[in-house]
Amino acid sequence: MRVYEFAKKYNVSSRDLLKQLSTAGFAVKSHMSVLEEKALDLLKKKYGDTKKKEAIKVEPNKAPKKAPQTIIPESKKMQPRERDKIKRLQKQDVTVESKEIPGLPLEPATPGSIANVIGVAANDIILLLLKWGVLSNKNQVLPVEMVQKIASHYDFPVAKASAKEMDIKKEIVESLNLQERLPVVAVLGHVDHGKTTLLDHIRKTRVAEREKGGITQHLGAYEAKTGQGSIIFLDTPGHEAFSKIRERGAKVADIVVLVIAADDGIMPQTIEAIKHAKSINTTIIVAINKIDKVGKPQIENIKRQLSQYELLPEEWGGDVVIVGISAKEGTNIAQLLEMIILQSQLMELKADSKGIARGYVLESKLEKGRGPVATYLGQHGILKLGDYFLAGKTYGKVTSMVDSFGKRVKQANPSIPVLVAGFDALPEAGDHFKVVPKKMYLKARSRQGFKKASMLHLVEKDAISILIKTDSNSSEEALVDSLKKLNKKLPRHINIVASGIGDINESDVMLASDTGAMLLGLHVKTEANAITLAQRLKVDIKIYYIIYKLLEALEELSIRTKKVVMILNKIGEAEVRKVFDIKGIGIIAGCYVKDGRFSKDGIAQIWRGKDKIGEGKILSLQRDRKQVKEVHTGFECGFLVEGHTDWQEGDRVECSILVPES
């Protein structure tokens, strides 16, 4: 039986069980750990009686008795060698008057701040907590009991705060009004591995069928209500062009669900997703999808592949939860949701509901009738209608909010995604969003040069000039980045004259006409007036709904219109044996072809000894007083060369033709 299964059966929290087991000396890593027989017996004795389901209070390990110490205020962190020397003096009951070791404040603290005072790496403390059955990241606040336990483990002195300091800190904590919030889960993985189909099954909608080409091309944020509780899901694109969108999704998420198709295995975007999640220490849960298509050997092979990227399955002694699912059939989806909820409970996710509303812009686009809108995901505070805000280089006032169910709302709590209207201009995806006083908003509004320029490059010679219009900020970003990469391998350069967001209008057509650019749209339409103007100005407009189709079309165009470089290729050599000056025609060289052939379309290069004395196009080629196209080795001929009359017997003539450079 696993920890979470016991917790579910006896109606206790997994977190309480982990504390109980670690105190009793059992090595448990997470709620997925399998309970030993002794551990199971212990827990059954504690929780077996259904009438006694109250959690057992666990007394923290008391610090070993040490010589009396003077409580010293915090100071600069000391070197380990210096700290050890002072501790030895303290053990000998020697009074230390200078460079005394600072005590660890006995108050709620994060592993990062504790590590900074003690002088160890934050990862060491996180690993220590894992051994004790406590899951934590660098910035999670630990209770006083745990702080004291860590200090005891490192034999480090503690410093109790004064009553006044404790009152102040208590007031600060109370003013924060920290409350539990919903977990934010990013669904990452390779294209066509079933991410959107999984969310589609959870949300009971048909999103995957509406995606052009069956791929997700925007960062979608959805609130999914499940039997285990509500979860905020971020659906991220799997195509390689959307690398930055996936990275943003991982950064704002508490948990990453890595979807891997069982019939495909680990692919390039899967590896990229693992790197994104690991770089910010985000918890990873692996969902092996399409298990209905494969057998057990393929699933075991994926687990071996995961171990190569330091993702060791919990059944192999690691801490990564792996669930085999079928998003299409709905197999084990409930189990996956249960694992997500259990993991989020252990993380004790909280947010300040009273503070200033702040969060992230996940996506932005132009919407007809509403102007610039953006998907907002709050971290702290409650966003309300009428709030003034700053978001990156833009600003605005919240005029309307729509939740993930399409319902208009008046406020948005932390972790709840909403589509916000009221922006002065389109914000960048990934921008920080913060509610500000009206004075600050008016000051930002008065600043000059606040909006970003749309022009990216000047018109380049011999390049294919294009003007891009997309439906959203992230689509524009992905397309521009993809074209920069594509340009490195194209025979003819693609030059982005300008890029923008929204439907193609008359101004776009005019700019394309002035710069000789073609207009490309991604997920947009062309206004009626713009179509008429484009036909009159002969501007080419093409609309695409799948990004890789647009990239393929440009690659094909670049190859098809590649500028051909011609080079001279020598095909024959002859010797001048007689010179004829014919009135009305010119000076003709009578030659003997020694090697190769001479062509009427060739170019003659004339050499006298080692010096080249002339070059020109062959205007006339004769053999036996007849015009011919070619003369081959061993035959005599006469020819007239454009621009050259200085012939002498013994001159060497080379015949070359222009051919495309290979």
Q: Are 501 and 471 in contact (CB under 8 A)?
A: yes
Alpha helices for 92-213 (secondary structure H): 111-118, 122-131, 144-153, 163-176, 195-203, 207-210
Domain-located, residue 242: yes
Residue 274's closest CA among 315, 302, 314?
302
pLDDT of residue 599: 93
What digits encode the pLDDT tens for the residues 122-140? 778 887 887 777 777 776 7
- The mean pLDDT value for 471-496 works out to 82
pLDDT of residue 621: 92
Choice between 104 and 436, residue whose per-residue pLDDT is larger: 436
Beta bridge partners of 467: 498, 519
283 and 309 belong to one structural domain = yes
Write the CATH number for 282. 3.40.50.300
Domain-located, residue 141: yes
pLDDT of residue 102: 57
Q: Are 242 and 252 in contact (CB under 8 A)?
A: no
CA atoms within 13 A on the CB side of 261: 16
Following CA atoms 328, 334, 337, 343 in sequence, which dihedral angle do they give, to the nearest 10 degrees?
A: -140
Q: How many CB atoms lie within 10 A of CB 170?
A: 10
577 and 543 belong to one structural domain = no
517 and 635 belong to one structural domain = no
Tokens of 236: 């991220």
Q: Which domain holds residue 543?
A: 464-560
Q: Are 606 and 613 in contact (CB under 8 A)?
A: yes
Rounded CA-CA distance 176/213 in Å is 46
Choice between 310 and 174, residue whose per-residue pLDDT is larger: 310
pLDDT of residue 161: 56
pLDDT higher than 90, residue 383:
yes
Q: Are 122 and 115 in contact (CB under 8 A)?
A: yes
Q: Are 599 and 618 in contact (CB under 8 A)?
A: yes
Tokens of 214: 């069956």
Q: Give the end of a domain, one of 501, 527, 560.
A: 560
Map tokens 């197999």 to a residue: 331
In this prediction, residue 146 has a pLDDT band, given cuts at 50, 70 and 90, of: confident
403 and 315 belong to one structural domain = no
H/E element holding 400? strand 394-403
378 and 526 belong to one structural domain = no
Highest-scoring range by mean pLDDT, 72-76, 180-184, 240-244, 615-619: 615-619
Domain-located, residue 62: no
Domain-located, residue 431: yes
Residue 637's closest CA among 571, 588, 595?
588
pLDDT higher than 80, residue 601:
yes
In this prediction, residue 60 has a pLDDT band, given cuts at 50, 70 and 90, of: very low
Helix (H, G, I), strand (E, B) or coil at 632: strand
Domain-located, residue 456: no
316 and 211 belong to one structural domain = yes
H/E element holding 129? helix 122-131
Q: Where are the beta strands (DSSP E) in 157-254?
A: 158-159, 178-180, 184-189, 220-226, 229-235
| pTM value > 0.75 | no
Rounded CA-CA distance 530/480 in Å is 23
- The mean pLDDT value for 489-499 works out to 81
CA atoms within 13 A on the CB side of 209: 6
- The mean pLDDT value for 511-539 works out to 87
325 and 338 belong to one structural domain = yes
Write the CATH number for 415. 2.40.30.10
Summarize the chain as % helix, strand, coil (round to 5): 35, 30, 35
Rounded CA-CA distance 257/198 in Å is 11
554 and 570 belong to one structural domain = no
217 and 347 belong to one structural domain = yes
399 and 487 belong to one structural domain = no
Domain-located, residue 496: yes
Rounded CA-CA distance 191/95 in Å is 66
Domain-located, residue 478: yes
Rounded CA-CA distance 114/141 in Å is 10
Rounded CA-CA distance 504/170 in Å is 57
pLDDT of residue 58: 40
pLDDT of residue 447: 58
User: 297 — phi, psi (to 5°)?
Assistant: -55, -40
* Rg (alpha carbons) of the chain, rounded to whole number: 37
Domain-located, residue 450: no
413 and 549 belong to one structural domain = no
Number of compact structural domains in the chain: 6
pLDDT higher than 70, residue 212:
no
480 and 412 belong to one structural domain = no
- The CA distances from residue 507 to 78, 154, 424, 426, 516, in Å, are 64, 68, 20, 18, 14
Q: Give the end of a domain, one of 444, 472, 495.
A: 444
Q: Give the end of a domain, one of 444, 479, 502.
A: 444
Map tokens 């689509």 to a residue: 475
Map tokens 């249960």 to a residue: 338
Q: Are 501 and 477 in contact (CB under 8 A)?
A: no
Highest-scoring range by mean pLDDT, 51-55, 349-353, 366-370, 517-521: 517-521
pLDDT of residue 176: 56
pLDDT higher than 70, residue 458:
no
